[in-house]
Amino acid sequence: MKTKMTISFSGILMMLALISCSSENKKNETVSKPDSASIKADMNTVVGVARVEPENGLLNIYANANGRISKIVASENQPVSKGSDLALLDNQTDNALLAIEQNKAPAQNAAILSAQQNANAILSDLQKAQKDQALNEQLFSAKAITEQALNDSKSKVTRLQYDYQKLVADIAEQKSKKQEIDANVKYRKAILCDRQIKSAFPGTVLQWDVHEGDYVTTGQKLGQFAPDGPLIAVTEVDELFSDKVGKGMRAEIYSQMNGQKIGSGTVVFIAEFLKKKSLFSDENTVEDRRVRVVKVRLNPVAKVNINNKVDCKIYLK
Predicted confidence pLDDT, tens digits, the chain (317 residues): 344 444 444 444 445 444 444 444 444 443 343 333 333 345 789 998 999 999 988 999 999 999 999 999 999 999 999 999 999 999 999 999 999 999 999 999 999 999 999 999 999 999 999 999 999 999 989 888 899 999 999 999 999 999 999 999 999 999 999 999 999 999 999 999 999 999 999 999 999 999 999 999 999 999 999 999 999 999 999 888 888 999 999 999 999 999 999 999 999 999 999 888 766 655 555 556 789 999 999 999 888 999 999 999 999 87
**d(Cα 238, Cα 276) in Å, to the nearest integer?**
10
pLDDT for 287 equals 56
- One domain, residues 96 and 190: yes
CATH number for the domain including 207?
Answer: 2.40.50.100
Count of other CB atoms within 10 angstroms of residue 177: 15
Is the four-CA dihedral 295, 297, 303, 306 of positive or negative sign?
Answer: positive
- One domain, residues 148 and 234: no
- One domain, residues 243 and 285: yes
Q: What are phi and psi of 6, to 5 degrees?
A: -70, -45
Contact call for residues 243 and 274 (beta carbons, < 8 A): no
- One domain, residues 148 and 284: no
- One domain, residues 76 and 204: yes
- One domain, residues 105 and 165: yes
- One domain, residues 183 and 269: no
Instruction: List Cβ neighbours of 214 (8 Å cut-off, separation of 6 or more).
Output: 68, 69
**d(Cα 234, Cα 50) in Å, to the nearest integer?**
5
pLDDT for 21 equals 45
Contact call for residues 270 and 245 (beta carbons, < 8 A): yes
Q: Could you tell me the residue range of the domain that residue 143 belongs to? A: 92-194
> SS3 for 229?
coil
pLDDT for 8 equals 46
Instruction: List Cβ neighbours of 182 (8 Å cut-off, separation of 6 or more).
Output: 105
- The packing angle between helices 147-194 and 92-141, to 10°, is 160
- One domain, residues 74 and 222: yes
Q: Which of 227, 250, 279 is the last residue of a domain?
A: 227
Tell me how far the alpha carbon of residue 9 is from its chain's centroid. Answer: 88
- One domain, residues 72 and 203: yes
Concatenating the DSSP letter of every residue in 70-84 gives EEE-SPTT-EE-TT-
> SS3 for 253?
strand
Total structural domains within the chain: 4
Nearest of 203, 210, 206, 207 to residue 88 by alpha carbon: 210
- One domain, residues 16 and 81: no
Count of other CB atoms within 10 angstroms of residue 81: 10
- Entry pTM: 0.63
- One domain, residues 102 and 147: yes
State the burial class of residue 116 (Cβ atoms within 10 Å of its Cβ: 0-12, 13-18, 19+): middle
- One domain, residues 104 and 184: yes
